[in-house]
Chain A
């Protein structure tokens, strides 16, 4: 199958205001309708990269950044870019499930409403569709008016995934989305990811190597802000070319 580049990262450098160089000359391509895994030891810059891709790091005061990030060939840091529209196109799921203090339904409708969707039918349809895609619909369809906090941690995380899906995004970023979850919830989310990649481009920073190897179509190994090696999941996790990648995968450091 022909692979379509979705996101192209060119010579990206990112430094926080305290001088931490979190990304150093990173260049990479993320392909559409694939699951791209970003992995590596703590502090490698995984979260920073994800937050750069949807410009959430605009919020970090005093950061400095050079290089380019292209989405469908468009520079997302260009002046004329509508940042809120970009964030709807590139949704993110965080490590900690973070429902807003609203009902389940309102959590999911939050993004679309901000985008100006008012039609009740459309909203209902988005709620059902996104909860179904996130494998949560059957568990909550009778209690949509309950608080988002009335759910278990695993359900909350799927709610957060559904909330992103309701934006009808093109890219979904997931930053260690399974870190606090039980194996069953993890399995459910991994299953839905396999469905979701038909429709979306997924970039995930998994919280362990096993998961990285399980879900990766494509993988990139980050060490201290540098992209060390990238390749297909199969190649990287079975025959890594770089010694440092191999050491990390074999559990020799990190």
Chain B
């Protein structure tokens, strides 16, 4: 075989592999969008489920996921960014900090059901928050923290060292330097990491299974200590636990959850490309 033929074979193979990856994605997303759109209307989005969830809408689940995401952000973002600042700007490179980093990397790989059980043990039972938005947000926060910490640390580290030296040489303290130079320039990367972390939290079922999710609760939560429905768990329930469930409602719920998560990705992408174009260094 000539070299030319080998090259064409190679390219052909790559194209095939690419197609093999893209086709299922298009099929899954396409099916959900086409089937789900038929279910979407005002009543479906903005009313509570009725008749054992076989009728009505998913509003309580949307509200629940919204508050869980907000709660997760409140707990995990300040803490995660603070830890990232410590690791990137203050911590010496020694055995202790290497151990912390290793732990963070490993935490990111822990299966989400383990976080769920941890949350059950710590927040629901030991701390007595019960199955509640508070316990669920805290559990999701712990799951999200490693993602936020590592992306934020990377964003902080990518700010050129010379900016820090210049700021210090102009009479800046370490903290002034972080606040005025390092953080603003790392912000786009931090925001991207935060959104990606929250997005994962919003879509997870296992961590909220025992910590917040209500099987069927048509009323809206009115305090942090209330149980709540949530989109991913609702989808799981109506797809597997309720006999005679109209397929349309399942697809509709899947579409809403997907739209919620994908719109967060979109926002992250827009922020990133906007700042990348503006960036001068």
Q: Please give the residue numbers on chain A whose beta carbons come within 8 Å of chain B beta carbons, in ascending order.
A: 54, 56, 59, 61, 84-85, 87-88, 91-92, 94, 96, 98, 100-101, 110-111, 114-115, 147, 149, 163-164, 167
* Complex interface: chain B residues within 8 A of A101 (CB): 163, 185, 279-281
Given A101-B281, A147-B280, check contact A85 B163 (CB 8 Å): no
Contact of B168 with A56 in the complex, beta carbons under 8 Å? yes
Contact of B281 with A149 in the complex, beta carbons under 8 Å? yes
Given A101-B280, A149-B280, check contact A56 B163 (CB 8 Å): no
Residue ID in chain B nearest A82 by CB atoms? B171
Given A98-B166, A101-B163, A149-B281, check contact A114 B172 (CB 8 Å): yes
Q: With A92-B169, A100-B181, A101-B163 given, can you name 5 additional A-B contacts, CB distance below 8 Å? A: A87-B168, A87-B171, A94-B166, A100-B167, A114-B172
Q: Please give the residue numbers on chain B whose beta carbons come within 8 Å of chain A beta carbons, in ascending order.
A: 92, 162-163, 165-173, 176, 180-181, 185, 279-281
* Complex interface: chain A residues within 8 A of B180 (CB): 110, 114
Task: State the CA gap A88–B172 with chains docked (Å).
Answer: 9
* Complex interface: chain A residues within 8 A of B181 (CB): 100
* Complex interface: chain B residues within 8 A of A163 (CB): 170
Q: What are some 6 contacts across the A-B interface (CB < 8 A)?
A: A54-B169, A84-B172, A87-B168, A87-B170, A94-B169, A111-B170
Given A101-B185, A114-B180, check contact A84 B163 (CB 8 Å): no
Residue ID in chain A nearest B161 by CB atoms? A59
Contact of A56 with B172 in the complex, beta carbons under 8 Å? no
Task: State the CA gap A173–B180 with chains docked (Å).
Answer: 24
* Complex interface: chain B residues within 8 A of A94 (CB): 162, 165-166, 169
Min distance, Cβ A188 to any Cβ of chain B, angstroms: 22
Task: State the CA gap A213–B127 with chains docked (Å).
Answer: 75
* Complex interface: chain B residues within 8 A of A164 (CB): 170
Task: State the CA gap A25–B176 with chains docked (Å).
Answer: 35
Instruction: Determine which of A110, A115, A167 lies in contact with B167 in the assembled complex, contact meaning CB atoms within 8 Å.
Output: A110
Interface centre among B166, B169, B185, B280 (most CB of A within 10 A): B169
Q: What number of residue pairs across chains A and B have CB atoms under 8 A from each other?
A: 60
Task: State the CA gap A84–B180 with chains docked (Å).
Answer: 16
Contact of A115 with B169 in the complex, beta carbons under 8 Å? no
Contact of A115 with B280 in the complex, beta carbons under 8 Å? no
Task: State the CA gap A61–B280 with chains docked (Å).
Answer: 29
Contact of A59 with B281 in the complex, beta carbons under 8 Å? no
Task: State the CA gap A110–B169 with chains docked (Å).
Answer: 11
Closest 7 CB pairs of A and B: A111-B170, A88-B171, A149-B280, A84-B171, A87-B171, A98-B162, A114-B172
Task: State the CA gap A198–B162 with chains docked (Å).
Answer: 30
Instruction: Determine which of A91, A147, A149 lies in contact with B169 in the assembled complex, contact meaning CB atoms within 8 Å.
Output: A91
* Complex interface: chain B residues within 8 A of A115 (CB): 171
* Complex interface: chain B residues within 8 A of A96 (CB): 162
* Complex interface: chain A residues within 8 A of B279 (CB): 101
Task: State the CA gap A164–B167 with chains docked (Å).
Answer: 11
Residue ID in chain A nearest B177 by CB atoms? A114
Interface centre among B92, B162, B171 (most CB of A within 10 A): B171
Task: State the CA gap A86–B165 with chains docked (Å).
Answer: 15
* Complex interface: chain B residues within 8 A of A110 (CB): 167, 170, 172, 180
Contact of B165 with A114 in the complex, beta carbons under 8 Å? no
Task: State the CA gap A56–B166 with chains docked (Å).
Answer: 10
* Complex interface: chain A residues within 8 A of B176 (CB): 114
Instruction: Determine which of A56, A84, A91 lies in contact with B165 in the assembled complex, contact meaning CB atoms within 8 Å.
Output: A56
Contact of B92 with A88 in the complex, beta carbons under 8 Å? no
Contact of A111 with B171 in the complex, beta carbons under 8 Å? yes
Contact of B168 with A59 in the complex, beta carbons under 8 Å? yes
* Complex interface: chain A residues within 8 A of B185 (CB): 101
Contact of A88 with B280 in the complex, beta carbons under 8 Å? no
Contact of B165 with A61 in the complex, beta carbons under 8 Å? no
Min distance, Cβ B78 to any Cβ of chain A, angstroms: 24
Min distance, Cβ B180 to any Cβ of chain A, angstroms: 7
Residue ID in chain A nearest B185 by CB atoms? A101
Given A61-B92, A98-B162, A101-B281, check contact A85 B171 (CB 8 Å): yes
Min distance, Cβ B163 to any Cβ of chain A, angstroms: 6
Task: State the CA gap A167–B168 with chains docked (Å).
Answer: 13
Instruction: Determine which of B92, B162, B169, B281 lies in contact with A56 in the assembled complex, contact meaning CB atoms within 8 Å.
Output: B169
Instruction: Determine which of B92, B162, B171 lies in contact with A114 in the assembled complex, contact meaning CB atoms within 8 Å.
Output: B171
Given A147-B280, A149-B280, A149-B281, check contact A100 B172 (CB 8 Å): no
* Complex interface: chain B residues within 8 A of A59 (CB): 165, 168
* Complex interface: chain B residues within 8 A of A87 (CB): 168-171
Min distance, Cβ B217 to any Cβ of chain A, angstroms: 50
Min distance, Cβ B7 to any Cβ of chain A, angstroms: 42
Task: State the CA gap A196–B72 with chains docked (Å).
Answer: 56
Contact of B168 with A100 in the complex, beta carbons under 8 Å? no
Task: State the CA gap A98–B165 with chains docked (Å).
Answer: 10
